[in-house]
Amino acid sequence: MGKYIIKGGKPLHGSVTVSGAKNAAVAIIPAAILVEGICRIENIPGISDVKLILEILEKMGAAVKYVDETTVDVDCTPMTITTTPGALCRKMRASYYILGALLGRFRRAQVDLPGGCNFGGARPIDQHIKGFEALGADVKVEYGMVSAKADELIGTEIYLDVVSVGATINIILAACKAKGTTVIENAAREPHIVDLANFLNSMGADIRGAGTNVIKVKGVEHLYGGTYSIIPDQIEAGTYMAAAAICGGDVLIKNVIPKHLDSISAKLTETGVVCEEYDDSVIVRRDGPLSAVNFKTQPYPGFPTDMQPQMSTLLCIAKGTSIVTENVYDNRFKYTSELAKMGADITVDNKTAVIKGVESLTGATVHASDLRAGAALVLAGLAAKGTTVVEDIYHIERGYESIVAKLTALGADIEKVEDEPETDVRPAKGAV
Ligand code: EPU
């Protein structure tokens, strides 16, 4: 599984290039199921979640071929299997996009209930199911699987009870080849939803309004292969911005869409950090103390929940008391008990964390319970006095490409070591 050993206290200087967006890639790759012909997908991030979703499609009959490190050809034309390979699917959340795409193409699908980040609270998929049913599918959840089938899918109006990224994407996928027009109201507006819609439109779909809360999908008969480049990862960029802010120094973050980072830049600026935006890069600089701020997570364009652990970690060493409200998930503060081991002063009550800034954090052995929690602990380790060991880093490698190399290039002291095999420390029989 491996762990990171971090010797903290070094400012960061230099530049880092952001990879393609994880959450766009894991939606666009299964969307290729709807396409006849080869989808050449560029700017693919080198992370384990992407490798996994490609492996799942391959096992279902797709032809997958890497052209270079960041470009992959996916051809789902030969695919006939409409049931996912269970064990692999249960490892990641986004495997549920296969459901919408299979339903859209074959009018039937059977997909294992998704895994992925476990924050401690429930992550229901009732809105996905409601959308599929509204389109005319018969949906059942049994034996750990979701099955959906329909004689035909017919466009309709669907109002989402909660703003859900996954449900918005899944309904778009199922509606792409439905008869007539589907209108999704109270849709999520995240950049990767726009990216998915752009991908599908470039292959022949007719999707309008992505990026607003009303999305209209006019069904088409066929989608044809083509080439598409994935947007840069908003959260990876935000994580390096937070890294520069917590460590101090001066970092140029390249290959970003600054507009996607507005809520993060604005909040960092309030803490006393300088964020300068350029066309496709941002510079983050800090040479003075950090100030406490309050923030609430919201669906896009609000402050992203996927930056909440990293931002909260920064506030652990800001002067004063900060209040963080998590509005997207019921429970996403599990990681704070790990930060407490490093000297953080955080009190959590339901959806709110009260963070009293301390002078500095100190190194400890901590455990990454999910992807962003893991990223937050890496940031804590970079800023802490002494040595931090972050365990269970497979969570981090699901979503951050070459994080050790990228941070090392910025001057951080971080290395990955593989876990040693467990040794039996009991004395051998007969030994004294
Ligand atoms: N929800 C429901 N019913 C549903 C769907 C969602 O009640 O049918 C609730 C959820 O429980 C949650 C809220 O709605 O409280 C928002 O969930 P959403 O569906 O938007 O989340 P998701 O699609 O499961 C994606 C990202 C997450 C990110 C969220 C919110 C992917 C693969 N995952 O998850 O990313 O936190 O949107 O922005 O796109 C991450 O990258 O670390 C990560 C967890």
Asked whether the predicted pLDDT for residue 116 surpasses 60, the reply is no
* pLDDT recorded at residue 123: 79
Q: Which of 39, 76, 117, 247 is catalytic?
A: 117
* pLDDT recorded at residue 113: 79
Q: Which atom of ligand 1 is nearest to the CA of 126?
A: 8
How many CB atoms within 10 Å of residue 358? 16
Give the distance (Å) from ligand 1 centre to CA of residue 93: 9
pTM above 0.85, yes or no: yes
SS3 171: helix
Q: How far apart are CA 65 and CA 62, in angstroms?
A: 10
Q: How far apart are CA 279 and CA 281, in angstroms?
A: 6
- pLDDT tens string 285-336: 999 999 999 999 999 999 999 999 999 999 999 999 999 999 999 889 999 9
Q: How far apart are CA 126 and CA 76, in angstroms?
A: 28
Give the distance (Å) from ligand 1 centre to CA of residue 233: 16
* pLDDT recorded at residue 431: 43
The residue whose C-alpha atom lies closest to atom 25 belonging to ligand 1 is 165
Task: Pick from 162, 163, 303, 372 the residue to mutate for probing ligand 1's pocket: most ligand atoms within 8 Å of its CB.
Answer: 162
Give the distance (Å) from ligand 1 centre to CA of residue 9: 34
Task: Pick from 22, 23, 117, 230 the residue to mutate for probing ligand 1's pocket: most ligand atoms within 8 Å of its CB.
Answer: 23
Q: Is 76 annotated in the active site?
A: no
Q: What are phi and psi for residue 294, nearest 5 degrees? A: -105, 145
Which position has the higher pLDDT, 91 or 2?
Answer: 2
- The helix or strand, by DSSP H or E, that contains position 337, with its residue range, turns out to be helix 336-341
**Inter-axis angle of helices 371-383 and 308-315, nearest 10:** 20
Please name which of 3, 7, 2, 62 lies closest in space to residue 30, comparing C-alpha atoms.
62
Question: Is residue 153 within 8 Å of 125, Cβ to Cβ?
Answer: no
* pLDDT recorded at residue 226: 97
Give the distance (Å) from ligand 1 centre to CA of residue 237: 19
Q: How far apart are CA 169 and CA 184, in angstroms?
A: 10
144 strand-pairing partners: none
The residue whose C-alpha atom lies closest to atom 6 belonging to ligand 1 is 164
Q: How far apart are CA 407 and CA 413, in angstroms?
A: 8
List all residues whose CB is within 6 A of at least one atom of ligand 1.
23, 26, 93-94, 117, 123-128, 162, 164-167, 188, 305-306, 328-329, 371-372, 399
Task: Pick from 26, 47, 123 the residue to mutate for probing ligand 1's pocket: most ligand atoms within 8 Å of its CB.
Answer: 123
Mean pLDDT, residues 331-345 = 96
Q: What are phi and psi for residue 42, nearest 5 degrees? A: -105, 165
Q: For every residue of 191-238, which 3-state class applies, written as one string?
A: HHHHHHHHHHHHCCCEEECECECEEEEECCCCCEEEEEECCECHHHHH
- pLDDT tens string 366-394: 999 999 999 999 999 999 999 999 999 99
Q: How far apart are CA 18 and CA 261, in angstroms?
A: 13
Q: How confident is the model at residue 271 (pLDDT cuts 50, 70, 90)?
A: very high
Sheet harboring 71-75: ordered strands across?
63-68, 71-75, 36-42, 224-229
Give the distance (Å) from ligand 1 centre to CA of residue 179: 28
SS3 57: helix
- pLDDT tens string 27-57: 999 999 999 999 999 999 999 999 999 999 9
Q: Which two tokens stand for residue 199?
A: 């991908």
Asked whether the predicted pLDDT for residue 428 surpasses 60, the reply is no
- pLDDT tens string 174-210: 999 999 999 999 999 999 999 999 999 999 999 999 9
Q: How far apart are CA 380 and CA 6, in angstroms?
A: 10
Q: How confident is the model at residue 423 (pLDDT cuts 50, 70, 90)?
A: low
How many CB atoms within 10 Å of residue 330? 12
Query: What distance lies between CA 114 and its chain's CA centroid?
Result: 14
